[in-house]
Chain A
């Protein structure tokens, strides 16, 4: 559906509509932004959405200065005009916030562009890579082979489980990038932590068992007084605990060993490596000493009566790692557009173009002379909170005027 002609056509139509509408409105917005503010005059101030009027007993110049300061403290770059005895301060801020929605629209176009680039020049494929093997290609769902341009190798695959349960905690593979016969990059990838090389990204996505594979047991053996040795053995092989006469023979293996709760017998409950265990028969000076299962997930099972340790580190060569392989040259544009959209949304919703006019004129009432202050303002958004801001500006100015008159 999403690659069908009507869906693509719909997307293109949306884009065209968006471009045309935005371009049609943009000049008007730009004009709005670029028109300088003019003094408003008494009558216009009275019609503005935010308006306040007050009278103070002070000198006109002092009132003007304090309003100037208070406006400046709120981030307004104040202009001034005088007309006879009266003065008017006026200013605006945040005029570019009117561009927020254009930024959002632009980011939407960029996302479409990124998606098209990805669909046109990228690919999505997969690769099942057995432990120890390499590949120069990946495969698409349609059965196509995609050359990688380098060689990828899986050193090992491993599932970690939550302690005491069979819930996988992490799937991991160690991948190596080989180019010109040289190892150029090595990384352990996990779900949510892929490897990227030359624009191609390898994601841990699944795993499985290779049918009929003969694996290698990797044992880490440590004699009581001695250091750790790593041994690679196969089923039927015999190894020696270094420096002791103790010999061990690999007699059996279970990918998922457990004790049947009803019968008490040891059974294998899965063919995946959920709880791998190796059966080792130990003998000393030709005499059989004891036989026991050593479990990979429970290292305490590998502590022998004499104190030697046998750690069942891995059963290697029997699993493959399932990799999602993809290249998306458009993704950086998607991310860039996401950032632009976040910024645009912030501007569009949380910033506003605020205008203010403060008219200061001498006034006489009841035989006393006052200074009359008419404040008017408008905001492109959030009028209520702008009203509060205007109140704060006035309070700050009148407070300062009072301070002055006390002195």
Chain B
């Protein structure tokens, strides 16, 4: 079997796990929960195999096309973190890893229903965005160990933030009592948009899967719905989305009923949200900001050039710093501070996807 097959297996497993975790929320049968965990572990193992195989392929490619280098250097240069596709795959891997650690450590399954959709969204995104899966040669600027560790550690940090996002959303759901509550409106919109984008990307996926994968995001992303060439479809998409948001808002309190009574308590979720940020924040600071700056300085002669990516990373950093200050300096607890954690992850998505795909700069992967 090729690495590609293992990736497909892991992707399908995560999608299936997402469905089973959500079923678990509704059915509350331990057997269902155990099945969800088993499927996730299975997906994780096959993704690990796929990653290692890709590393092997990438290594061979490097050996064949480059001047001879030492074994260590060849392994570093071929580490599968070289383009958008590989970095997103690695993000999913870290996300699932952290989720499994939390699941085994804190003995809570239900978080899976909120973390696996994030993994699924990322995987579907990879397919619809048509990010190239080819093993590409590294352009000279990317041949740096600083860059490698920069990407590696930042993504661990992003994954920790991803978990805090999942836990934060669940926390908000549990804490809000009425439909007029601002925090309730906030989470219902976030969850709604999340599902809408997942579904819209699902449409993209089925409508473009026959086309060439080299096409870039601008060509496909949301092209079968919001960005369709047919005005009717665009209008329907918007109307359907607004209606869907309304439904989530109207019936969202039911979700709270489903969640209460599971082994979830607001305290535990608050703790997971905080802990993931407490791990993600130092990783992101050291790996994302500091190592990024060191790399930029050795490659371009400037540790900070205010390109869109750097600016957005800084915004992300400030939002999480704000979260920490709200918690420790101002003593905020509960809804208010958790909203900051959720906003933090939205800026992460802007930092990574928005900037990489829609704007160009030093950080647009693969192009200089």
Contact = CB atoms under 8 A, between A and B. Distances in A.
Interface of B: 64-67, 136-137, 139-141, 143-144, 271, 278-279, 281-282, 285-286, 290, 293-295, 297-304, 306, 328-329
A163 B144 CA distance: 20
Contacts of B271: 384
Nearest to B329: A21
Given A334-B293, A341-B290, A324 B140 contact: no
B298 A326 contact: no
A192 B144 contact: yes
A212 interface: no
5 smallest A-B Cβ distances: which pairs?
A191-B140, A345-B282, A162-B65, A203-B301, A326-B301
A325 B301 CA distance: 8
A170 to B, nearest CB: 5
A165 B64 CA distance: 11
19 contacts: A124-B302, A163-B66, A164-B65, A171-B140, A192-B141, A192-B295, A194-B298, A203-B300, A203-B301, A325-B301, A331-B297, A334-B293, A338-B290, A341-B285, A342-B286, A345-B285, A345-B286, A349-B279, A350-B282
B166 to A, nearest CB: 20
**A interface: dominant SS:** mixed
A124 B290 contact: no
A346 interface: yes
Given A168-B140, A201-B301, A203-B300, A335 B294 contact: yes
Interface in A150-173: 160, 162-165, 167-171
| B271, B286, B290, B293: residue with the most chain A Cβ atoms closer than 10 Å | B290
B282 A324 contact: no
A190 interface: yes
Nearest to A348: B282
A86 to B, nearest CB: 34
A2 B306 contact: yes
Contacts, number: 83
A171 B368 CA distance: 13
Contacts of B300: 203, 205, 324
B149 to A, nearest CB: 13
A335 B286 CA distance: 12
B281 A190 contact: no
Contact of A192 (B64, B140, B279): B140
A193 interface: yes
A194 B66 CA distance: 21
| A338, A341, A350: residue with the most chain B Cβ atoms closer than 10 Å | A338
A193 B328 CA distance: 42
Interface string A312-330: 0000000000001110100
A160 B67 contact: yes
Nearest to B304: A115
A192 B298 contact: yes
A126 B329 CA distance: 46
Contacts of A115: 304
Interface residues of A toward B: which range?
A: 35 or more
Contacts of B282: 342, 345-346, 349-350
Interface string A161-199: 011110111110000000000000000001111100000
Nearest to B318: A14
A188 B328 CA distance: 51
Interface in A111-131: 115, 124
A2 B303 CA distance: 15
Nearest to A191: B140
A191 B299 contact: yes
A22 to B, nearest CB: 10
Contact of B303 (A192, A331, A341, A349): A331
Contacts of B286: 342, 345
B301 A167 contact: no
A232 B137 CA distance: 34
Contact of B293 (A21, A168, A338): A338
A385 to B, nearest CB: 10
A193 B301 CA distance: 10
Nearest to B286: A342
Contacts of B278: 349
Contact of A342 (B66, B140, B290): B290
Contacts of B141: 191-192
Given A169-B137, A192-B140, A345 B303 contact: no
B215 to A, nearest CB: 21
A170 B143 contact: yes
Contacts of B140: 168-171, 190-192
A324 B301 contact: yes
Nearest to B297: A331
Contacts of A326: 301-302
Given A115-B304, A342-B290, 19 more contacts: A162-B65, A163-B64, A165-B137, A169-B66, A169-B137, A170-B140, A191-B140, A192-B143, A192-B295, A194-B301, A205-B301, A324-B301, A325-B301, A331-B297, A331-B303, A338-B290, A346-B282, A349-B278, A350-B282
A203 B304 CA distance: 15
A384 B143 CA distance: 43
Contact of A345 (B139, B281, B298, B306): B281
Nearest to B299: A192
A1 B305 CA distance: 12
Contacts of B66: 162-163, 169
Interface string A341-358: 110011001100000000
Nearest to A114: B303
B216 to A, nearest CB: 19
B298 A193 contact: yes
